[in-house]
Structure 1
Amino acid sequence: MEQQYDVVVIGGGAAGLSGALTLSRARRSVLVVDSGAPRNAPAGHVHNYLGREGTPPAELAAIGRAEVTGYGAEVEPGEAVAARPVPDGFVVDLADGRSVQARRLLVTTGLVDELPTVRGLREQWGRGVLHCPYCHGWEVRDQPIGVLSTGPFGAHQALMWRQWSADVTLFLHTGPEPSDDEWEQLAARGIAVVTGEVVAVESAGEQLSGVRLASGQVVPRAAVVVAPRFTARSAVLESLGVAAVDQEMAGHVVGSAVPADPSGATAVPGVWVAGNVTDLRAQVISSAAAGLNAGAMINADLITEDTRRAVAARAVFSARTERELCDMVLGDRRHGI
């Protein structure tokens, strides 16, 4: 028989651990299944997390796990591969062949950053190859930055990163030609534009050093900005009939995400989501907040069910029988005498 919990949390990042903390503090039995492959593992530090600014991602996760287990929750390394509904909740199948049962599920499996096919990008991802200025802009301030255009937002990215450095170059690569307005904006902000396809990013030791064009020319750069495709890790949810859907900006598909209401509830009753699996823009601190909100809503849903069950258990007695039973057992004490 599968071990049973009030809630199984699938994913041990900021959203999952925050939800587990909320639920375990609400005296729920909680299991966190963590595959140990967080999206932000390549990054050196977490930023914009008030009170934890500059904390390495692995350290923040370790702190979270200690807090969660301190309230009685369990955190187990492993991978959830599928889930299925049963009369009293769900069964979650793990990659090692075991299964666990839960009354409710919180899925916080995040997303995968699919990078453009350019040699060297993956090796420098999270260090010299970046995508979010709010995550990494300060760290490369005043350095030579290249923006690799692969879609309609290349000029927009270059103008954004210009806030952090006066030396920004837009590499058109496979992106479209800027519009007349964009050309004027780029020129006004002193952003250079390089045509031609990029074939590689160059490194000198651990440090990114330049961008190599198909022509053989290398343009020195200290950092390169890319726009990944953000693909939800939704396999477990899909096994329950919850599919990720394409997310578009200005008619351009930028990734996929699992639909949910503001509380994180999906179309399947009893299944919630939080973090990047449902919100492509969520950073660590907002993912943690979403986990808290989903955890609170799951606990409220369980309270409703617990109350319904308690009322149903009393339904074998009529109101008259209840009064007679109280009189027989308590007598005058029923009235405080």
Structure 2
Amino acid sequence: MEQQYDVVVVGGGAAGLGGALALSRARRSVLVLDAGRPRNAPAGQVHNYLAREGTAPGELLAIGRAEVAGYGAHLESGEAVAAAPDGDGFVVDLADGRRVRARRLLVTTGLVDELPEVPGVAELWGTDVLHCPYCHGWEVRDQPVGVLSTSPFGVLQAQMWRQWTADVTLFLHTGPEPSDDEREALAARGISVVTGEVAGLETDGGRLSGVRLASGQVVPRTALVVLSRFTARSAVLESLGLAAVDQEMGGQVLGRVVPSGPAGATTVPGVWVAGNVTDPRAQVVVSAAAGLEAAAALNADLIAEDTRLAVAAHRASPSPAGAGPRDLVPGGRRHGN
């Protein structure tokens, strides 16, 4: 049999759990479906999360799941593969053949990082190969950091990471040659530039020790910054007609996201999104807040529907003899009593 919930949350990361917590506290029946593939799994710690600074990602999710379950929500391991409108709600198909019904959907499936095809990058992703200075800059402060340029944003990345360390090297790799003005700005900040493609990474004891060029030269580095291309996990949304679109900055395509309106509303009534599936820049704390914001909007929509249904039922039910709604005053007393 198909189980029915007020809300099915597809995705059990920070955004999904943030939304599920608010909805379960609002006394909604909630199911959280989690495929178990969090984007930040390789990272050792979560940062910039007030009162949870430095918490391991897995520990943060475990705490969140316990809090959500404590308010009566159901949490299940499983992958949602498709969803479809059905009557006044939706049917969600799971990879194992099960189906669940929901009056509303909150999709928080996140994204996948597509990394440059340089040997060693994928293996060190999240530890010594980094992407966000606000997430990892403090941890590599004052260390020799390399920036792998694969786009016009290489110079900007190098200048950003210069805030955390004076030892920054920009590896042009497949990125464009800096302009004269950019080279002057890099030199002014003491950022060195290395031409030629990067052939791979050198390690010592499982940690990054250097960047190897195609020429064979090895430049010592303990951290390497890369710009990943992000792709929203959008299969469930695409099954509802919500396709991912290119996200651009300065005419450069950075990846694909599912667009949304205020509070995560989509163009399909009854479907909301939150977190990296629609905002790739959102850190963990921002994703959790987005889940809360979407949940509040979603609950308001359910309240409106509950009210419409109650009014319809009230109008359809016979009134007590001689006591119609217009005959009553506050407190239930009739006029003249």
Gaps spanning 5+ residues in structure 1: where?
none
The AA in structure 2 aligned to 1:144 is P
Distance in 1 of aligned mates of 2:171 and 2:313: 69
Asked if the contact 1:326–1:334 (Cα under 8 Å) also holds between the matched residues in 2, the reply is: no
Partner of 2:92: 92
Question: How much has 1:127 moved relative to structure 2?
Answer: 0.4
Asked if the contact 1:275–1:288 (Cα under 8 Å) also holds between the matched residues in 2, the reply is: yes
Gaps spanning 5+ residues in structure 2: where?
none
Question: How much has 1:335 moved relative to structure 2?
Answer: 6.2
The AA in structure 1 aligned to 2:155 is A
Partner of 2:200: 200
Deviation by residue 1:134-170 (Cα, 9 ceiling, x = unmatched): 0000000000000000000001000110111111000
Equivalences for residues 1-337 of structure 1 within 5 A: 1-316=1-316, 323-324=323-324, 334=334
Q: 1:169 to 1:336 in 2, by over 3 A?
A: farther
Question: How much has 1:323 moved relative to structure 2?
Answer: 2.8
The AA in structure 2 aligned to 1:56 is A
Distance in 1 of aligned mates of 2:235 and 2:325: 53
The AA in structure 2 aligned to 1:47 is H
What percentage of residue pairs aligned between the two structures are identical?
Answer: 76
Deviation by residue 1:224-259 (Cα, 9 ceiling, x = unmatched): 000000111101100000011000010000011111
Question: How much has 1:179 moved relative to structure 2?
Answer: 1.3
The AA in structure 1 aligned to 2:303 is I
Distance in 1 of aligned mates of 2:123 and 2:136: 17
Distance in 2 of aligned mates of 1:45 and 1:317: 58
Asked if the contact 1:146–1:225 (Cα under 8 Å) also holds between the matched residues in 2, the reply is: yes
With normalisation by structure 1, the TM-score equals: 0.96
Question: How much has 1:262 moved relative to structure 2?
Answer: 1.8
Distance in 2 of aligned mates of 1:336 and 1:256: 67
Q: 1:247 to 1:311 in 2, by over 3 A?
A: same
Question: How much has 1:333 moved relative to structure 2?
Answer: 5.9
Distance in 2 of aligned mates of 1:175 and 1:321: 81
The AA in structure 2 aligned to 1:209 is S
The 3-state SS of whatever aligns with 1:165 is coil
The 3-state SS of whatever aligns with 2:238 is helix
